[in-house]
Amino acid sequence: MIKNVIITGLVFVAVMCWLKVDPECVKTADPNSVIIEYECSNLDDYENVPEEVVEECKSRAVEATHKK
């Protein structure tokens, strides 16, 4: 009996880890947190884009060309 409960629990944990919770679905309780999303293909449409975002988009473009 206890063996079945342990196996069921482990299977449940494995399935939850496999599915992973989408971070966008998790709301933070911190009112001081803000998440801003940029589309790399449309960076020219935004004003005052942080340098970190530009660098990240450039690195992703390089990675995408090497994967093909």
For the whole model, what pTM was predicted? 0.47
Domain ranges across the chain: 2-67
Q: What is the pLDDT along the chain (68 residues), one digit of tens a residue?
A: 898 999 998 888 877 777 776 555 556 667 787 788 899 999 889 999 999 999 999 998 876 676 65
Contact at 8 Å (CB) between 40 and 61? yes
| HSE-CB for 65 with a 13 A CA cutoff | 5
pLDDT at 54: 92
pLDDT at 21: 61
